Structure 1
Amino acid sequence: MEEWLFISLAALVASTVAAIAGTGGGIILLPVLIEVFGVREAVPMYAVVQLIGNMSRVALNRQLIQLPVVFWFCVGAIPFSILGAWLFTKIPDSKLLNIIGAFLIFTVIWRHWRQHTIASFNPKYFALIGAIFSVISAIAGSAGPFLAPFYLSYGLVKGAFIGTEALGTAVMHIMKLGTYHELGAISPTTWLNGITIGPIMILGSYIGKHVLERLSIRVFMIIVEVAIVGFGLWFLSK
């Protein structure tokens, strides 16, 4: 019971932050799921949870979604999500933990470095972006922090950024989950647990949408980043 209260709180915080910042919230929840369920069950469960959370953000920002960007992202993401999910089934558990640990730490580094590294570009480049980061997402559980700078560089802000990123990522999660299922990497219990957490993600999206213009998350994000680095170091030591 205490574990589920902890998971519920982490899910609410994760979804609220994602709805406000557009990304990064999900990686708050992933380490919690790994600690409770183990990496092999947590990553597919996280995909279920993220799919629900992303679809709620799509619904809340549907009028601002840039469909050409979503189209080109999916051109790359659909086939490479399948490849990434297959690789997930082949990598040993200890290596998965190390990969996710390194991923968590690098997301924090990337968040502070990204503002000066990416120039504007053609929307067709989202096919390559979708291909690369769908593999990362399928193996490490998430790629949101790395995707955000590209959407922002393209000129998408606030609701347009959040909704467009969420729809492309939702398609990626659907392909991942279908492949996990076909390869036997996701159990009925994992589906059920993910769906159980889903309504909390929807609530967080709703809360985040309504405080988007009011809340400064600078100090909060510093606290979150310290926690993420701590989990990353913990997983690297496994």
Structure 2
Amino acid sequence: MLGTLLAASAAAFLLALLSAVTGFGGGVLLLPVFTALFGLRVAVPVLTLAQLSSNGARAWLNRRELRWPLVGRFALGAAPFALFGALLLAHAPLAALKRLLGVFLLAVVAWRRLGRPPGRPGERSFVAVGAASGLGSALLGSVGPLTAPFFLAYGLTRAAYVGTEAAAALTLHLSKTAGYAVAGLLSREVLLLGAALTPATLAGAWLGRRIVDRISDRVFVGLVEVGLVAAALLFLAGR
């Protein structure tokens, strides 16, 4: 059990570091790791608890750059749909949804690289972004890559992007946690694992914030796009 916890903590640290630099990616990559270590039924709620601490830390470390109107709009859609998705977790077919998300992410990156990026979305559109993210995150564990193109298209980069995305994601993870509790998925094992992994996620978020300060906007956007492609391939390869 100690070896499993150490492996999970190491993965949580490295992927919290990745999330703190690119704004997403940790949850997508942690889910298969946690599933291998704990089984899917435990992995999804444990991942949510780990993301609560990771996103909370990123939002706090970048708090001066947050775009609160976007966070509020996002939360309006995310909270109810995340709660609904959490209650559906035990019954929904997920394979087709993962593949659809993978195709969407590849299309977005191709569109941006061809010099035809999507237009700047309005603040109201983030209600719909939040709703799709809340439902997908509750069912798939994490869909951070789904929100990235919209925050980038709005014009956010580096600290503003990372902090705003983290604060927005925090609202849906809180709703997911409530839904998992109602569904009886927050067992004693899940709560203990979530608490044990918190120090590693906080340390990764802190180190990642220092790295963001040292890279240019161009490098940052490039890293995010590489992460989008990697996440898309993982979704397409998953079962």
CA 1:145–1:185 in 2, change beyond 3 Å: closer, same or farther? same
In the superposition, the TM-score normalised over structure 2's length comes to 0.85
Cα distance, 1:213 vs structure 2? 4.0
State the alpha-carbon separation in 1 of the partners of residues 189 and 4 from structure 2.
16
State the alpha-carbon separation in 2 of the partners of residues 73 and 100 from structure 1.
21
- CA deviations on 1:185-206 (whole Å, 9 max, x unpaired) are 2212102101211111110011
State the alpha-carbon separation in 1 of the partners of residues 147 and 234 from structure 2.
23
Point out where structure 1 has 5 or more consecutive residues left out of the alignment. Answer: none
Q: Which amino acid aligns with 2:149?
A: P
Q: Residue 113 of structure 1 corresponds to which residue in structure 2?
A: 110
Counterpart mapping for 1:135-146 below 5 A? 135-146=135-146
Cα distance, 1:108 vs structure 2? 6.6
Counterpart mapping for 1:51-66 below 5 A? 51-66=52-67
State the alpha-carbon separation in 2 of the partners of residues 4 and 24 from structure 1.
21
Cα distance, 1:16 vs structure 2? 0.6
Tell whether 2:158 aligns with 1:158: yes
Given that residues 118 and 153 in structure 1 are in contact (C-alpha distance below 8 angstroms), is that contact kept between their aligned partners in structure 2? yes
Aligned residues, how many? 231
State the alpha-carbon separation in 2 of the partners of residues 123 and 147 from structure 1.
13
Counterpart mapping for 1:31-42 below 5 A? 31-42=32-43
Aligned-residue sequence identity (percent) comes to 31
Task: Between 203-212 and 5-14, report the one with greater CA deviation.
Answer: 5-14
State the alpha-carbon separation in 2 of the partners of residues 161 and 224 from structure 1.
15
State the alpha-carbon separation in 1 of the partners of residues 151 and 46 from structure 2.
26
State the alpha-carbon separation in 1 of the partners of residues 140 and 118 from structure 2.
23
Given that residues 17 and 25 in structure 1 are in contact (C-alpha distance below 8 angstroms), is that contact kept between their aligned partners in structure 2? yes
State the alpha-carbon separation in 2 of the partners of residues 107 and 28 from structure 1.
18
State the alpha-carbon separation in 2 of the partners of residues 111 and 9 from structure 1.
31
Q: Residue 84 of structure 2 corresponds to which residue in structure 1?
A: 83
Cα distance, 1:174 vs structure 2? 0.4
State the alpha-carbon separation in 2 of the partners of residues 7 and 174 from structure 1.
22
Counterpart mapping for 1:199-218 below 5 A? 199-214=199-214
| Runs of 4+, deviation exceeding 2 Å | 1-6, 98-118, 213-219, 221-233
State the alpha-carbon separation in 2 of the partners of residues 90 and 45 from structure 1.
19
In the superposition, the TM-score normalised over structure 1's length comes to 0.85
- CA deviations on 1:137-179 (whole Å, 9 max, x unpaired) are 0000111011011011111111111111111110100001001
State the alpha-carbon separation in 2 of the partners of residues 39 and 103 from structure 1.
21
State the alpha-carbon separation in 1 of the partners of residues 25 and 120 from structure 2.
22
CA 1:101–1:156 in 2, change beyond 3 Å: closer, same or farther? closer
State the alpha-carbon separation in 2 of the partners of residues 10 and 60 from structure 1.
21
Cα distance, 1:226 vs structure 2? 6.5
Q: Which amino acid aligns with 2:67?
A: Q
Q: Residue 185 of structure 1 corresponds to which residue in structure 2?
A: 185
Question: RMSD across aligned C-alpha pairs, in angstroms?
Answer: 2.8
Given that residues 28 and 143 in structure 2 are in contact (C-alpha distance below 8 angstroms), is that contact kept between their aligned partners in structure 1? no
Q: Which amino acid aligns with 1:186?
A: L
CA 1:206–1:75 in 2, change beyond 3 Å: closer, same or farther? same
Tell whether 2:169 aligns with 1:169: yes
Cα distance, 1:7 vs structure 2? 1.6
Cα distance, 1:11 vs structure 2? 1.0
Task: Between 175-184 and 108-117, report the one with greater CA deviation.
Answer: 108-117
Given that residues 104 and 231 in structure 1 are in contact (C-alpha distance below 8 angstroms), is that contact kept between their aligned partners in structure 2? yes
- CA deviations on 1:45-78 (whole Å, 9 max, x unpaired) are 1000001100000110011111100010011111
